[in-house]
Each structure stands twice: as C-alpha cells, then as structure tokens.
Chain A
C-alpha cells in the first residue's frame, strides 16, 4: 500500500507537472465559461440608465419557419453554466481510487450518497434510476440561482427557463402515469367520481404551472427587491452625502455592503431552498404518478397470460408436425 503513492507521484512527475496530475486544470476550465459570461455581459450588455427592471436581454434571433427563436441571456448563461458544471464534475471525479485519499473524492462520494439517500427515501428503491436526473436538477437549479452572485443574469429568474423544466417534469409524470396502460391513465381522471373530471384536469395542468411559478416567483421577486433596495440606497446616499463636493457627492456610498445582507437571503438561501424544493416536488410528483403496485400486478398478469399462451400454443405446435 505504501509504495502506491510513491509510484503515483513518480508518474505525475514524469508526465509533466503536478498541476495536471491533481486535476486542477478542470477547475480552471470550469471557471472559464463563467468568465466568458462576464465578458459577454460587459461587451454586449445594454448599459442601463438609473433603475430599470428588465427581463433577459435578447442577443440575437434565429429565423425559424414558424416563429423566430430569440437567443437570450438566460439561454447563453445556461449553456455556459452547463459547460462549467461539466468541468466541475470532471474535477470532482478525476482520478478516482478505491480508497478515497483526496478531499474532492470524499466530497464527490458524499454528494452521490446524499442524492441517493434523498431519492431512496422519497421515491423508493425501485426508482433509483432517477438519482442522476435529480442530482442534475438540483445542481443546475442551485447554480443558476447563484449565478447572480457574480453579476450575471440568473437563468432561473426567467419564466421561460423554469417553464421548460416544469414541462419536462410534466412529461415525466404523464409517462409514468401511462406506464400502467392508457385505460388506467384515463380512469385516473374520473376518480373518485366521474363528476370530478374537470377538476382533475385542472389540477393536472396546475402542477407544472405551480412548479414554474413557485421557482420563478421566488428568484424574480428577490432580484426585483434587490434592485429596488439598491436604488433606494442610492437615493438616500445622494440625500445624505449630496453636500460633499465633486464626485464624492454623487458616489452612492450606502450601496456598498448593505445590499449584500439582502443577497444572503435572496440569492444564497432562497436559491438553494428553491432548488431543493423543485427537486423534492419533482421526486414526489413522479413517484406519486407511478402506481408501482398496480404496475407490478399488471406485469405479473401479463407474464402469467403469456405463459398460459405459451403453454396453450406449445402442445399444438408440437402436435402439428405429428399431424403433418
């Protein structure tokens, strides 16, 4: 066991530098897309005069046959974030070993184990295939909200992004409801009484709408309140320090530091909690949509009927050549 690290170090020294051997270049690569986002914002961003609360800025529009497709800030930021997250995950899982020796491998294992236990307790052991999806939703949602910390437009404060995620979850819910057969699905609308059908349809549609509104509303309201407080503090500092000569009077000194306390709640806490809640609701809705016992019963019935068919056809097939 003791000769192992020595060998490793020797190989690292041979292959070049310890920098690449420790996987730190992935961290650098993870930081690059975010830097690119900041550069894009600085180069092509519209300079806003005073207080303005606007949605995502449209960079350019792609002509499409039915409807022009605008490529907005939120899309670009999401793509950059995906790249960054990819490299971050590559950094965490770089050079894995049977016995974890590095902190990042312990962190990676901790993350995977936590996500697995979350999915196991909320969805059941038969839906462990959802662990990567839930982990991806958590990471993307949390880091999207946290993008506003480095001054970029948070994709989660754009209704379209969250609505897309919610539609994805809705499709998954419908897929798992259809797994027990289309008749079972249609019958679920007429429960507990046929009279309740319109209400059931409305509640079915309300699921993605409420998921989208909840996440979007929380992040967007945080952004709006942050802007309003910053503007208010600017006005206040102009009122208090306006008598100072030159640029000292115009400098919004109260805007330094004080909005950061709001940011702790609206960006850090709210963003992480909303990511957790989005993932939680995704798990609960999908596992609620999948009637596992009914599915097992249907599978068993199918199997037995198949076996019966097999048993029925087999003797005749065996008998056929004799008849011929």
Chain B
C-alpha cells in the first residue's frame, strides 16, 4: 500500500515536471518574437521615411513593406508554432510516453 502511494506521488511529480517543462519551453520559444518585432519596426520606419521623401510611390512602398514584414515575421512564427505545439500537443505526447515506459 505504501509503495503504491509513493509510486503515485512519483508519477504525479513526473507529470508535473513534464507540464512545467512544456510551459517553460513554450515561454522560452516565444522569445523569438523579439527579433521580428525589431525587424518589422525598422522596416516600417524606413518605409515611412521613404513615403515622406517620395509620397507619390506610397502604394509600391506599402505593398513591399507588408510583404517584407510578413517574411520577417517567419522566425517569430516558428517560435509561436513551437510554443503552440509545446502547450497543446507535447504534454499529451510525453505523458503517453511516460505511461508506456512505466507500463
């Protein structure tokens, strides 16, 4: 009986560790959002400068800027997708793995 209780405690601890690891990992993955933030800020600042200098090519500059912003966003979105996977997919996967190894 005591062995069972202690086993249960260990199992809960292990699952808690998995959840904590996934949560911390997701948080760390979203640090990737810093880069696109700085990059897109720079891109928009330069686009505004260009529009200020040459207001007649506003349309072209805006289209190209949105395009560039979307591409600069990619690295941030890698982090976002990893974060989403870590929160919604990974815990179930790892808990399943744990259960299978325990038997």
Contact = CB atoms under 8 A, between A and B. Distances in A.
Interface of A: 53, 55, 210, 213-214, 216-218, 220-221, 224, 273-274, 277, 280-281
Contacts, number: 36
B67 A280 contact: yes
Contact of A214 (B66, B77, B88): B77
B88 A53 contact: yes
13 contacts: A53-B88, A213-B77, A214-B70, A214-B71, A214-B73, A214-B74, A217-B78, A217-B81, A218-B70, A218-B73, A273-B66, A274-B70, A277-B71
Interface in B23-65: none
B44 to A, nearest CB: 14
A216 B81 contact: yes
A273 B70 contact: yes
Q: Which 3 A-B pairs have the closest CB atoms?
A: A217-B77, A277-B70, A217-B80
Among A217, A224, A273, residue most surrounded by chain B Cβ atoms (within 10 Å) = A217
Nearest to A280: B67
Nearest to B87: A53
A55 B87 CA distance: 13
Nearest to A53: B88
Contacts of B10: none
B84 interface: yes
Nearest to A215: B77
Contacts of B78: 210, 213, 217
A277 B71 CA distance: 8
B48 to A, nearest CB: 19
A73 B21 CA distance: 31
